[in-house]
């Protein structure tokens, strides 16, 4: 069958042929209609993600939209390595297939579900956002961040503060439901002051972090307060990405002087039962009221040329 094929971890996948998968017990073959080029897809194909099997050659792609043998149109949330979703057909566990409401089209679902689940799963399953709580979204200007603003609003967040470097993208987020923006600048003292000024007026309950690295270090320092008189409120800091770096330096004083709870959200930290529930809930919510989502499509044969293209606020979806 035709597929995108990863031959090594240093170069983009190439369009070519790959052996057909054979379904084992509990699995199904999906005829793929659309597969999104998500950040995790690039990370896995480069061998950098913790979920990488290290096996080559392989087909990239973690999820997609397709049809089962009986014609049912489904979103599938995973595939069995090395048979990723960027192919004419892939194999997945039947339990990972979720019927798609008719009002949702193939490419939008393929583009939207994976980045949206980074916030939906984190806010619902990991930190249990409660209506009326305040949230900071760190690194909000990408596709996942744009969706996170909308997800937080629908889950009842009282105040949504977004932080990023792109002024135009930050302005767009105000149209999507954000209440305030914080410009990420290289002057760490100025950034720390901006964060503390915001939180002095509106204490933050949750930080949703797509960046990690230096921006996370600055936010964590801003949470720390000196002196024995202050009363530290509970702050759930949940990491969902590492676009700015894989590691941070964390002073123990930060933990001792704040109500900080530092956790992560992703496969391995959320039970499969809750992941399945999140898929179903999100698809139902998207059918009830559409999310603002920018989608770009390309034929799968262009995968090598388009692999490293910037998303520019839109998610690229390949169609076999």
Q: What is the pLDDT of residue 312?
A: 75
Domain end point (choices 234, 264, 294): 264
**Residues 176, 252: one domain?**
yes
Q: What is the pLDDT of residue 36?
A: 97
**Residues 252, 163: one domain?**
yes
Question: Taking 90 as the threshold, does the pLDDT of residue 19 lie above it?
Answer: yes
Label the pairing between strands 89-93 and 27-36: antiparallel
Among 134, 131, 129, which residue's Cα sits nearest to residue 178? 134
Q: How far is CA 319 from CA 3, 14, 51, 299, 302, in A?
A: 10, 15, 24, 5, 10
Question: Taking 70 as the threshold, does the pLDDT of residue 20 lie above it?
Answer: yes
Spell out the alpha helix ranges (H) of 86-130. Answer: 106-121
**Distance (Å, whole) CA 117 – CA 86:** 20
**Residues 142, 15: one domain?**
no
**Residues 247, 138: one domain?**
yes
Among 62, 146, 127, 138, which residue's Cα sits nearest to residue 265? 127
Residue 122 lies in a domain: no
Contact 248, 212 (CB under 8 A): yes
Q: What is the pLDDT of residue 113?
A: 97
Residue 234 lies in a domain: yes
Residue 117 lies in a domain: no
Distance, CA of 6 to chain centre: 22
Contact 88, 1 (CB under 8 A): yes
- What SS3 class is residue 136? strand
Mean pLDDT of the chain: 93
pLDDT, average across residues 63-70: 97
pLDDT, average across residues 33-60: 92
Residue 77 lies in a domain: yes
pLDDT in tens, 77-127: 999 999 999 999 999 999 999 999 999 999 999 999 999 999 999 999 999
Residue 123 lies in a domain: no
pTM above 0.85, yes or no: yes
Range of the domain at 28: 2-112+271-319
Q: What is the largest CA-CA distance in the chain?
A: 67
**Distance (Å, whole) CA 75 – CA 106:** 9
Residue 156 lies in a domain: yes
pLDDT, average across residues 5-13: 96
Residue 249 lies in a domain: yes
Domain end point (choices 244, 264, 284): 264
Among 43, 24, 45, 31, which residue's Cα sits nearest to residue 1? 31
Q: How far is CA 216 from CA 80, 85, 238, in A?
A: 33, 32, 11
Among 228, 162, 160, 223, which residue's Cα sits nearest to residue 192? 223
**Distance (Å, whole) CA 151 – CA 155:** 6
Structure-derived torsion over alpha carbons of residues 204, 207, 212, 218, reported in degrees to the nearest 10: 0
Structure tokens at 271: 């039970």
Residue 191 neighbours by CB distance under 10 Å: 21
CATH of the domain at 165: 3.40.50.720
**Residues 249, 135: one domain?**
yes
**Distance (Å, whole) CA 307 – CA 31:** 22
Q: How many domains does the chain have?
A: 2
Question: DSSP letters of 9-27?
Answer: TTS--EEEE-PPP---TTE
Q: What is the pLDDT of residue 227?
A: 52
**Distance (Å, whole) CA 185 – CA 182:** 9
Give 62 or 268, the one with higher predicted confidence: 62
How many residues does this entry show for the chain? 320
Domain end point (choices 219, 236, 264): 264
**Distance (Å, whole) CA 39 – CA 150:** 19
Residue 140 lies in a domain: yes
**Residues 165, 232: one domain?**
yes
pLDDT in tens, 183-234: 998 888 899 999 999 988 999 999 999 999 999 999 998 887 665 555 668 8
pLDDT confidence of 251, banded at 50, 70, 90? confident
């Amino acid at each position: 069958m035709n597929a995108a094929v990863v031959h090594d971890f240093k170069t983009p996948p190439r369009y070519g042929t790959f052996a057909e998968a054979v379904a084992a017990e509990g699995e199904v073959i999906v005829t793929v209609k659309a597969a999104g080029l998500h950040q995790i897809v690039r990370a896995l194909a480069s061998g950098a993600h913790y979920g990488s099997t290290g096996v080559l050659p392989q087909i990239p792609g973690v999820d997609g939209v397709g049809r089962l043998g009986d014609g049912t149109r489904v979103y599938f949330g995973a595939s069995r390595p090395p048979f990723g979703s960027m192919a004419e057909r892939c194999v997945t566990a039947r339990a990972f297939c979720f019927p798609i409401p008719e009002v949702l089209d193939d490419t939008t679902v393929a583009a939207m579900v994976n980045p949206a689940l980074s916030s939906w799963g984190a806010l619902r399953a990991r930190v249990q956002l409660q209506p009326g709580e305040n949230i900071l979204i760190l690194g909000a200007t990408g596709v996942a961040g744009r969706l996170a603003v909308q997800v937080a609003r629908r889950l009842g967040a009282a105040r949504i503060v977004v932080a990023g470097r792109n002024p135009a993208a930050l302005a767009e987020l105000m149209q999507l439901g954000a209440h305030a923006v914080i410009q990420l600048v290289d002057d760490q003292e100025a950034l720390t002051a901006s964060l503390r000024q915001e939180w002095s007026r509106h204490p933050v309950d949750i930080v949703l972090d797509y960046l990690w690295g230096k921006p996370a270090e600055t936010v964590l320092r801003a949470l720390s307060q000196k002196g024995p008189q202050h009363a530290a409120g509970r702050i759930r800091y949940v990491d969902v990405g590492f676009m700015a770096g894989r590691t941070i330096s964390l002073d123990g004083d930060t933990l001792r002087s704040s109500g900080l709870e530092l956790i992560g959200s992703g496969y391995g930290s959320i039970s499969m039962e809750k992941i399945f529930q999140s898929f179903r809930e999100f698809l139902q919510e998207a059918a009830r009221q559409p999310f603002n989502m920018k989608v770009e499509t390309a034929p799968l044969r262009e995968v090598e040329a388009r692999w490293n293209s910037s998303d520019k606020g839109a998610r690229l979806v390949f169609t076999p």
